[in-house]
Structure 1
Amino acid sequence: MSITPLATAPAASRTAPLFRGRIGRDARSGHYAVPHRYRLHLSTACPDGLRLAVGHSLLELDTSCPVTFLPAVPDQPGGGHTALRPLYEASAHHHTGPALAPVLSDDWSGRIVSTHAPDILRDLDRFRHTGRARLHPQGLESVIEAVERMCAEGIEEAAQRAGSAGAGPAERAAALEVLLDTLGRLERRLTGEEYLAEDRLTAADIELWVTLVQLDTVHRCHLDATAVHRIADHRALWAYARRLTARPAFGRHLDLDGVARRHHGRCQGLEAAGAAVQILDWAGHAAEASNSSRR
């Protein structure tokens, strides 16, 4: 698969994680993959939390690594959760910052292993059941990393700049072209294909699906209607998003109300005409996933 990073886009700017412990292969690593030892704490209204929830479901880890779901809107200043405060205080002496999600905690010690979502998603592969496919298969690491960069820089950051009230017309137009170019490259890759890499579902698909959810439910609200119609014109890309949403591991974690409340609580931008042009019926396709999981 030929997917290369965008040379013109700035580096992704995510909040620096406070904890970056890793799950190792065996007991010599300190943190190693023991069933029932670790717990995820996340909100599916948050993109990182949604990525982890989907990956956790695909790997069928409900019993071996349970999840504590947090409210969509944090209850502490700075985006923190009161429920996570004991973990932060046990893990960082005199921690005064917000207790942010997501968190992978160690129930044996009562401390935090990691708050870095990409590492956590990679480490969940170590808990997978025998016979379950890996989300980060050997040989596809560079493809997954390239998709992650495209989503962060070519879609997420470009969409933010394209809809920024503080940017000038030329800057917004340039950002929109970066966004459309990235979507076009992914569109060509997905035409006639079910997944992004070697006809198998990987972490690259989780990354792109969550990014498309954000594009249509959050960033679209700050774009004009013409821009949204151009974005929606990538038929193979949105058909792919629709197919994944109809799968229980994806659609049942989609908290549209929570995403909207989180967005309205954080966003300072102005709503534009594109807010009225919904690309996908996310709720309808998520309902398909719910019905499918009950059969």
Structure 2
Amino acid sequence: MSATYPTAAPSLRSRIGSDPRGGGYYAAPRRYRLHLSLPCPHSLAIAVAHRLLRLDDALPVTLLPAVPDAPDGGYLALDPLYEASAHHHPGPSIAPVLSDTWSGRIVSTHAPDILRDLARRFGGDGPDLHPSGAEDSLDQVGRLCEQVGASARLAGRSDAGAPERHTAVGTLLDTLSVLETRLTSHAYVTPGGLTLADIQLWATLVQLDTVHRPRLSAETVRRIAENTQLWAYARRLAQCPEFGGQLDPDGIEQRRRASDPQAPGAGVPLVDWTAYTSAATAREVPQWPESVCGGADVRPPAVSCD
């Protein structure tokens, strides 16, 4: 069994609109609630965006346990929302969920849509995570992140054939190389500054290191580590409380073990995520843009990944 995260079937994908006169879902303070499980990379990305945008008051969050409690890999606490939103929902009832407290229904379980709606409809006092004209760049990075996750899962599957795993490793390394190149001259993965693309990439790198890496060969891990700009970038963002403060390394390991009791040991990670978690939660969260993860799109000095 691979260390993967189930998806809702069917996926629920409504969007938040901008005009209350049009009815349906529109942004209103405390109307909606996020249901997140931080070991899930999709939930982690949403939690980071929520924190960056300073949405604690406008959009409450319910944190779910690291390990789902339903036999199908879902959460029993989410069953009523799923049943109200999709009659005879086949399951699993998974996070992330954006729910509407007025109707008791789910707005969306699709993380990319939720991220975009947080940035575009709820605003907040944080950075512009979805700048005008950035849609294509965000989509492109999103596809690269999906490719990293899919190829890493296949490369680590013990029940996959050697040719499949070999091809998956090649795809994984090629995709990481593309992302590495993007960071050789810019501080962020898209030109201009911090965006949703950086949040998604960072969550993908956390997942790659904590969940997928233990299943990969030593040679593959060595070649992954050669992308020094990527891992320096991951460390730099982890230093920011809005990023590192959302990490749950213990929960990630619990969930990894629960999904596959025969999984190999965690080994030595490429990034000591626990160090950034303790550092991030021990200090005050600075006001934007003074946070270390903000600022101009100028690549910082090279940081060793040793």
* TM-score normalised to structure 2 length: 0.85
For 1:213, the equivalent position in structure 2 comes to: 206
Distance 1:270 1:257, change over 3 A: closer
Shift in Å, 1:19? 1.8
For 1:84, the equivalent position in structure 2 comes to: 78
Asked if 1:239 is matched to 2:232, the reply is yes
Q: 2:275 and 2:34 mapped to 1: Cα distance?
A: 28
Q: 1:189 and 1:160 mapped to 2: Cα distance?
A: 23
For 2:283, the equivalent position in structure 1 comes to: 292
Shift in Å, 1:89? 2.7
For 1:111, the equivalent position in structure 2 comes to: 105
Question: Is the 1:40–1:67 contact (alpha carbons within 8 Å) kept by the matching residues of 2?
Answer: yes
Asked if 1:127 is matched to 2:127, the reply is no
Corresponding residue to 1:160 among 113, 133, 153: 153
For 1:143, the equivalent position in structure 2 comes to: 137
Asked if 1:279 is matched to 2:270, the reply is yes
Match runs of 1:223-234 below 5 Å: 223-234=216-227
Corresponding residue to 1:23 among 16, 27, 34: 16
Question: Is the 1:225–1:277 contact (alpha carbons within 8 Å) kept by the matching residues of 2?
Answer: no
Shift in Å, 1:278? 1.6
Question: Is the 2:257–2:263 contact (alpha carbons within 8 Å) kept by the matching residues of 1?
Answer: no
* Secondary structure in 1 matching 2:70: coil
- Residue 115 of structure 2 aligns with an amino acid whose one-letter code is L
Asked if 1:254 is matched to 2:250, the reply is no
* Secondary structure in 1 matching 2:284: helix
- Residue 292 of structure 1 aligns with an amino acid whose one-letter code is R
For 1:5, the equivalent position in structure 2 comes to: none
Asked if 1:169 is matched to 2:156, the reply is no
Alignment RMSD, CA only?
2.0
Distance 1:82 1:177, change over 3 A: same
Question: Unaligned 5+ residue runs, structure 1?
Answer: 1-12
Match runs of 1:192-211 below 5 Å: 192-211=185-204
Asked if 1:99 is matched to 2:90, the reply is no
Question: Is the 1:17–1:115 contact (alpha carbons within 8 Å) kept by the matching residues of 2?
Answer: no
- Residue 117 of structure 2 aligns with an amino acid whose one-letter code is D
Corresponding residue to 1:62 among 56, 61, 64: 56
Question: Is the 1:163–1:172 contact (alpha carbons within 8 Å) kept by the matching residues of 2?
Answer: yes
Question: Unaligned 5+ residue runs, structure 2?
Answer: 1-5, 287-306
Shift in Å, 1:191? 1.6
Q: 1:98 and 1:276 mapped to 2: Cα distance?
A: 31
For 2:302, the equivalent position in structure 1 comes to: none
Question: Is the 2:13–2:110 contact (alpha carbons within 8 Å) kept by the matching residues of 1?
Answer: yes
Shift in Å, 1:151? 1.0
Q: 2:106 and 2:156 mapped to 1: Cα distance?
A: 36
Question: Is the 1:228–1:277 contact (alpha carbons within 8 Å) kept by the matching residues of 2?
Answer: no
Q: 1:282 and 1:70 mapped to 2: Cα distance?
A: 21
Q: 2:157 and 2:88 mapped to 1: Cα distance?
A: 37
Distance 1:16 1:92, change over 3 A: closer
Q: 2:219 and 2:90 mapped to 1: Cα distance?
A: 45
Shift in Å, 1:190? 0.6
Question: Is the 1:52–1:121 contact (alpha carbons within 8 Å) kept by the matching residues of 2?
Answer: yes
Percent identical residues: 54
For 1:4, the equivalent position in structure 2 comes to: none
Shift in Å, 1:261? 1.3
Q: Deviations over 1:150-203 (max 9, x none)?
A: 1111x1111112212122333222211211111111111112421111231111
Asked if 1:191 is matched to 2:180, the reply is no
- Residue 236 of structure 2 aligns with an amino acid whose one-letter code is R
Q: 1:92 and 1:17 mapped to 2: Cα distance?
A: 8
Q: 1:151 and 1:174 mapped to 2: Cα distance?
A: 17
Q: 1:52 and 1:175 mapped to 2: Cα distance?
A: 27
Q: 2:220 and 2:188 mapped to 1: Cα distance?
A: 26
For 1:7, the equivalent position in structure 2 comes to: none
Asked if 1:222 is matched to 2:215, the reply is yes
